[in-house]
Amino acid sequence: MSDPLRKAPTVNHGESTAGCLWVVATPIGNLTDISKRALEVLANVSCILAEDTRHSKRLLNHYGIRTRLRACHDHNEAEQVGWLCAQLESGVDIALISDAGTPLISDPGYVLVSQLRKRSFRVQCVPGPSAIVAALSVAGLPTDRFVFDGFLPAKSAARQAALAVYALEGRTVVLLESSHRIEACLVDIVSVLGPQRRVVLARELTKKFETVLDGDAADLVQRLKEDPDQTRGEFVLLIEGVTQPLKDDQEVLRMLQILMAELPLKQAAALVASLADRKKNEVYKLALSLK
């Protein structure tokens, strides 16, 4: 009986003899969260472009896949375009994976895919795990409309300015955060969006110590202080959207104070006016009062 992992991936090249770049999603934690199709592709391509070859080697070894690996990360991705085009032109297939989840989603790969599509090379996906979608599926927040903004700025003032944009965001906001900044980020959410803003913190998804904390922002800050273990690992942070505009001048002034710390007065006033659905001149006068 033939080995199912040695079955060649099905690709319709039409009349072209060029190879295909396969964008393959890999597990975000639990190694069994990978599709049979992903394993078939990884076993049969000529080479796998990996964000960290040492990390990806563990996944391949787990499934007995011996395909050679080549590093492709943020610092060398642009340099790989010429090599990859030459490989595909020779007729071989190449796979692209990241350390975890779906490539290009807060991971390397955009430069490669965009350049290949401009050159009319075939790019196909093998869908699978994504921490963003996994978190949305268990958070209990609306999923019909959401916005993903990656990582917030590292410094508090810039982070607060970024958070102020969500004061009137009606969609669920999905963010990523690191273990050494998660508590400070929640404190800034309390400061900017208010202590009652509902937040869901999805930690170590699919891994041994997976937890999903749900509550008011102030409540989550306290829970992290009481249980420091909840600040460890990898995080997806979700913020519930709102349906009400900024209610009064005090809330408008609070937003102006935060934004004016990072932006020119006129630009901050224009942004708050848009968020609050107010006239620019009206908000500009409030901003001048802070000066």
Q: pLDDT tens digit string along 206-239? A: 999 999 999 999 999 999 999 999 999 999 999 9
What pLDDT is stored for residue 259 in this prediction? 82
Q: Which of 129, 142, 209, 205 is nearest to 170 (CA)?
A: 142
Work out the average pLDDT over 247-258. Answer: 77
Q: Token pair of 226, please?
A: 């009481």
Q: Token pair of 224, please?
A: 């992290």
- Kindly indicate the confidence band of residue 174, based on its pLDDT and cuts at 50, 70 and 90: very high
The amino acid at residue 15 is: E
pLDDT, the chain, mean: 90
- Kindly indicate the confidence band of residue 28, based on its pLDDT and cuts at 50, 70 and 90: very high
What are residue 96's DSSP bridge partners? Answer: 23, 49
Judge whether 11 and 120 are in contact, CB under 8 Å. no
- Give the integer Cα–Cα distance in Å for 252 and 277: 11
Of 6-20, 157-171, 241-255, 269-283, give the lowest mean pLDDT range.
Answer: 6-20
Question: Residue length, the chain?
Answer: 291
> Would you call 217 helix, strand, or coil by DSSP?
helix
Q: Token pair of 141, please?
A: 């927040």
Q: To which H or E segment does residue 199 belong? A: strand 198-203
What pLDDT is stored for residue 65 in this prediction? 98
Other residues' Cβ atoms within 10 Å of the Cβ of residue 74: 12
Q: pLDDT tens digit string along 33-48? A: 999 999 999 999 999 9
Judge whether 150 and 110 are in contact, CB under 8 Å. no
- Give the integer Cα–Cα distance in Å for 227 and 215: 15
- Give the integer Cα–Cα distance in Å for 289 and 291: 5
- Give the integer Cα–Cα distance in Å for 97 and 72: 9
What phi-psi label fits residue 194: left (phi over 0), alpha (psi between -120 and 50 degrees) or beta?
left
Question: How deeply is 221 buried, as exposed, middle or buried, from its count of CB atoms within 10 A (0-12, 13-18, 19+)?
Answer: buried
Q: Which residue has the higher pLDDT, 185 or 278?
A: 185
Give the residue carrying structure tokens 């349906």: 243
What is the percent of the chain with per-residue pLDDT over 70, rounded to a whole number? 92
Look at residue 288 and tell me whether its pLDDT is greater than 60.
yes
At how many degrees (to 10) do helices 249-260 and 156-164 cross? Answer: 140
Q: pLDDT tens digit string along 78-108? A: 999 999 999 999 999 999 999 999 999 999 9
